[in-house]
Amino acid sequence: MLEVKEGKLLYQVCSLLLKSHAEPEIFEQIAEQLFKNLQVSCCSIWSASPNGGVGQQRLAFSSVEDTMPADLPTLDFKASLQAMESKGALSCQESQVIAGKQKLFSLTIPLSSHGHVVGAICFWFFNGAIRQDIVSLMTSLAADLAQGLHNYQSFCAHSHRRLNKELEIAKQIQTSFLPKKIAQIAGNSIAFQSITAYEVGGDYLDIFQTQNNLVGIALGDVMGKGIPAALWMAMTRVTLNTIAKSGVQPHVVLEEVNKMLYQDLVERDTFVTLLYALYEPVKKVLLLANAGHLPPLVFHSITGQYELFKVKGPYIGGIENRKYQLAGVQLIAGDVVLFYSDGLTEATNSSGKQFGLSNIVDVVSKNSLFDAQQIVDSLTIHVSQYLGNCQQKDDITFACLKVVG
Amino acid sequence: MRIMSIEKVEPGMKVGRSIYSANGKTLLANGVKLTSRYIERIKELGIVVIYIYDESVGAIQIDDVVSEKTRLEAIKVTKEAMENIKLNPTLHLASINEAVNDIINELLNHCDTMVNLVDIRALNDYIFGHSVNVAVLSLITAITMGFNKDKLRILGAGALFHDVGKTAIPENILVRATPLTDDEEKLLEEHTTIGFHILRKIESLSLQVAHIALQHHEHYDGTGYPRKIKGDEINEFARIITVADIYDRLTSGMAGGLRFSPLQAVELIIANSGKFFAPEVVKRFIHIIALFPIGTLVVLNTQEKGVVVETFRDFPTRPRVRLLVNSQGNKINPPYEMELASNLDFYIVRVIEEGEL
């Protein structure tokens, strides 16, 4: 049962939401209202990234001006991140932290709409008693607030980026397929980067561990863009995953994928380039089969030389029942292998020049002593710097394997 | 506080960190409001970047690997020693040893700090500041390589004196930006042997120190000078000094006028690992340098903008960033901080070299 005061507050917040036409200021007003009426020390509202990929944004932050510790905004960010990752329907998380000399208590509530976490709301207070009033108020308010956030996000997606629904879905499909977490194996480091373009391309990257503890790396590119490309990508991924998980040799995997997809691809007049590499972390052997994708770069640490690891093969959907070749390379500590899509080599700057292989070689060799993650980050910085203000036309995807010890 | 190129600095801005002359005197104290005359003077001195106080960025703590006091003291004693060394070879060694000891002790106490040094020292008369920088850089590297205190002391003294032979080279060859003639080039290369002969006569100095001066321009692949020795033939201390020396010359703009960012300098050093530089030294060295020094403005993949506030040895490309502007271009108030190392979805895509937030 809500108290009168809370009922009034609920009414105020809901009417604010109703009146709004998805202006961001509305959330500042709501936070201000909640902050004042609930007598908390700080209240903040966070929006999760609208396309499920990266980034969250703080929409509102109201706090007592002077008495708050300086690192509260940072703690607040961490708490909201945790709340959004917990993905509970309406779970209240209570925690206490020591900020400066003061003990602070937080109550964070993830906000979900249509099964997706769209944001979070955080309250901070000095008094440690459980604030039943906040919990009961938020129980009634969470759904409305989540709907408001959802509306705001859709509005932003439409107006700012002119993203239409179709592209948004395609992007969602694509980002949700990227490897979530890479199993790090002692003595090797693996990292990847995928920078999606405004118009979604059909890049596909997967890194997984097979049943016999080898590392599978698959990189492909579907002809075309948008929803169709995303769907073909999904199909390729499922097919390859099913076959490759048991640890079969790469050329067999590609043969099977081609067999299963050939008919459909030919009928739709499209094709997929795909490479699949299998890495043996103990003996440090890399096996590779390639169906028309760009050859990976191999850097030899001892000589300082690089080579393109070329293996010939027609693309998936090219020739029916075609056998693929298998090739292998023995790696040693310090060697770096880079898998990449044509979005990287063909990234074009304002003067019409492409990033090209020479730049990639340059960046990787200049960073070859770092771990995979640093090499990937450096390459990202260099390619972004190169693009400057130019719009990226195609997805840029690459993965790096570094033999460390 | 943020790093700003001197070209972008305007009258009315406040100095975020004191500016020192090459011999360690304070030129402009922290907090001083810049006038156009001050700015002109800073440019004349060859200083290319300074820290500027910026309200929107807020205060940032920079933990120096070596305190300003110790550093200035070291510059002072190095200058005195180098200027008198030919007249009075036994001199001031006690004060040099003391300076080296102070640096070593401070470094051992801050063993996790990274080098965030964006050096804001005047370029003319730079040699003494450079010697101290090389000492700090090579000592941190040696500490990560597991050197004991005795070896660190030799290395420290060697670093401070590695360019002592330059005191015998004509000034116009040392500071000239235009290319040197072959003869002048030869003369400049002489500074290694001259330094060796000065130092080896000083009885209380280890002979290793003289060898550091002799060999600090030898290359790992045998293409250096004066003796063209290679690999393990090169003194182990000299191999470290070579890397620290080139890093400081690149980032200070001593080497040919162009000033390298830490990222560019580190990339150049890695690219020449095994060629000019000993790989085992490079491997250690690159982890002590902050690629994005504290105070650098960066753009993240989310189009958010922020300033680097803390750096970590294990994650050179992923510092702690204070977010200042959100993806829509609105100011974030109050700003919050994010560790890129634990938020892998966020990464730096660009460094803002100029202009406003």
pLDDT value, residue A180: 73
- Between these two residues, A147 and A65, which has the higher pLDDT value? A147
**Percent of chain A whose predicted confidence (pLDDT) is above 90:** 31
State which residue of chain B sits closest to A381, comparing Cα positions.
B349
**pLDDT(A343) > 50:** yes
Please say if the pLDDT value at position A27 is more than 90.
Answer: no
Q: Round the average pLDDT of chain B to a whole number and report it.
A: 86
Chain B partners within 8 Å of A402 (Cβ): none
How far is Cα B240 from Cα B147, in angstroms, rounded to an integer? 12
Interchain contact, A61 vs B333, CB within 8 Å: yes
Cα–Cα nearest to B217, from B253, B252, B255, B251: B255
How far is the C-alpha of A312 from the C-alpha of A92, rounded, in Å? 56
Q: Do A374 and B317 touch (CB under 8 A)?
A: yes
* Per-residue pLDDT tens over the stretch A223-249: 887 778 888 888 899 999 999 988 899
Mutate to test the interface with A, among B114, B260, B266, B267 (most CBs of A within 10 A): B267
Phi then psi dihedrals of residue B50, to 5 deg: -140, 165
Local confidence band at A54 (pLDDT 50, 70, 90 cut-offs): very low
Predicted local distance difference test score (pLDDT) of residue A258? 93
- The pLDDT of residue A101 is 64
Interface of A with B in 105-134 (CB under 8 A): none
Does residue B342 sit at the A interface (CB-CB below 8 Å)?
A: no
Query: In the predicted model, is pLDDT for residue A17 greater than 90?
Result: no
At A223 the three-state DSSP class reads coil
SS3 of residue A404 by DSSP: coil
Q: In this structure, what token pair is assigned to residue B101?
A: 């000891």
What per-residue confidence (pLDDT) applies to A158?
Answer: 65
Contacts of A73 in chain B (CB under 8 A): 334-337
Hey, are the CB atoms on B326 and A57 less than 8 Å from each other? Answer: yes
> Quick check: A160 pLDDT over 60?
no
- Between chain A and chain B, the number of residue pairs with CB atoms below 8 A apart is 86
Nearest CA-CA distance, residue A375 and chain B, Å: 9
Sheet containing strand A42-48, strands side by side: A56-63, A42-48, A116-125, A102-113, A93-99
Check residue A242 and report its DSSP letter.
H
CA distance B86 to chain A (A): 42
Residues of A in contact with B317 (CB under 8 A): 370, 373-374, 377-378, 381
pLDDT 10s digits, A55-112:
678 888 888 876 777 788 888 888 888 888 776 545 555 566 665 566 777 888 888 8
Phi first, then psi: what are they for B261, rounded to 5°? -80, 160
What average pLDDT score do residues A7-23 get?
73
Supply the pLDDT for residue A1: 46
pLDDT at A78: 85
Token pair for A20: 């709004």
Segments in chain B below pLDDT 50: none
| pLDDT of A52 | 44
Instruction: For residue B302, list chain A residues with Cβ-Cβ distance below 8 A.
Output: 49, 54-55
| Residues of A whose CB is below 8 A from B283 | 369
Residue A324 pLDDT: 93
Q: What local confidence, expressed as pLDDT, does residue A53 receive?
A: 45
What's the pLDDT tens digit per position in B108-155? 988 777 777 655 555 556 788 889 889 999 999 999 999 999 999 999
Of chain A, the percentage scoring pLDDT greater than 70 comes to 87
Q: Are strands B305-310 and B297-300 parallel, antiparallel or unpaired?
A: antiparallel
Q: Quote the minimal CA–CA distance from A270 to chain B in Å.
A: 32
Closest to B289 measured CA to CA, from B144, B126, B132: B144
Structure confidence at residue A22 (pLDDT): 64
Query: Tell me, what's the ipTM?
Result: 0.82
Return the structure tokens found at A346.
Answer: 């063909």
Question: Closest approach of chain A CAs to the CA of B231, in angstroms?
Answer: 14
From B260, B313, B245, select the one nearest B63 (Cα to Cα).
B313
CB B217 within 8 A of CB B196: no
User: Is it the case that residue A314 has pLDDT exceeding 60?
Assistant: yes
* DSSP structure string for A37-103: HTT-SEEEEEEE-TTSSS-EEEEEEEE-TTTS-TTHHHHHHHHHHHHHHH--SS--EEEEEEETTEE
- What pLDDT shows up at residue B92? 67
Per residue in A246-300, pLDDT tens? 889 999 999 999 999 999 889 888 899 999 999 998 899 999 999 999 999 999 9
Q: Can you tell me which residue has the tokens 């506030």?
A: B309
